[in-house]
Amino acid sequence: MQQIRPPAVAGRFYPATAEALGAEIDGYLAGAVTGAPPKALIVPHAGYRYSGAIAAHAYATLVRARTLIDRVVLLGPAHRVALRGAATSAATAFATPLGEIPLDQVAIARVLAFDGVRTLEEAHAEEHSLEVQLPFLQRTLDDFSLIPLVVGETPTADLVTLLETLWGGEETLIVVSSDLSHYHRRAEAQALDRATSMAIERLDVEAITPDHACGCYPLRGLLALARRHGLSAHTLALSNSGAVPGTPQQVVGYGAYAFH
């Protein structure tokens, strides 16, 4: 029996209609530069008015790979439930105003064999960190299946083992959803986020803490595995919520990164 996870933040984090949503994403992508297809991305997950333009710099790199990538492993932090380890979903598809994305049931069954991975619908029901990535993926890729993982506190070694199982080849894209520093004054946030970006480019696992990135646990796993596979990381864009007029003085940082 089909079980569809409906969108939880449509109309708040991004437009609720397909026409408006597609047009907004296309506008962001038009302002970004296409690049070499990546193996992995780090992308922010705020409302589109705050981080959509930054996210577009990551997703624009998929243009040349839209027919090659047919599976996306999507990891993001838990904002709504206390969680240790990783939670996947029993849904057969995740929906957005742009349509439904089927879940890779075979791969999900495989990761459920790992200690610390479980099915937990509560972790996904209201979670925005994964959901806001889906319309961008739908707009930049052709048909693909999804492996969604909400990640709480998890040892890096466990995430490396898990991601290695899902790594695949050029058909598989890894996406880590994470914002950067939270609620510092703008100048302080800029300095902190520049340092975090340098750590990401160095693939410096130990330099990333929850103070640097809310998605630090999946981010650490990606950095460690990128080092193992000989990938390099590149900063594509860096900003914060203070770039939007009328926002508070204490800002949230956003960065987009590609791994080749």
pLDDT in tens, 55-84: 999 999 999 999 999 999 999 999 988 899
Q: Are strands 40-43 and 250-259 parallel, antiparallel or unpaired?
A: antiparallel
Q: What is the dihedral of CA 250, 237, 80, 245, to 10 degrees?
A: 40
How many residues are given for the chain? 260
Spatial neighbors of 59 by CB under 8 A, at least 6 apart, are 29, 32, 41, 43, 136, 137, 139, 140
- Provide the mean pLDDT of the chain: 95
Q: What does the DSSP 8-state code read for residue 64? A: G
Spatial neighbors of 119 by CB under 8 A, at least 6 apart, are 87, 88, 89, 90, 112
CB 3 within 8 A of CB 90: yes
Domains and CATH numbers, the chain: 24-251 (3.40.830.10)
Opening angle at CA 166, ends 22 and 2, nearest 5: 55
Q: Is the pTM higher than 0.85?
A: yes
Q: How confident is the model at residue 244 (pLDDT cuts 50, 70, 90)?
A: confident
pLDDT digits (tens, 9 = 90+) for 12-71: 999 999 999 999 999 999 999 888 899 999 999 999 999 999 999 999 999 999 999 999
Q: Is the pLDDT of residue 246 over 90?
A: no
Residue 157, class by beta-carbon neighbours within 10 Å (0-12 exposed, 13-18 middle, 19+ buried)?
A: exposed
Q: Is the pLDDT of residue 165 over 80?
A: yes
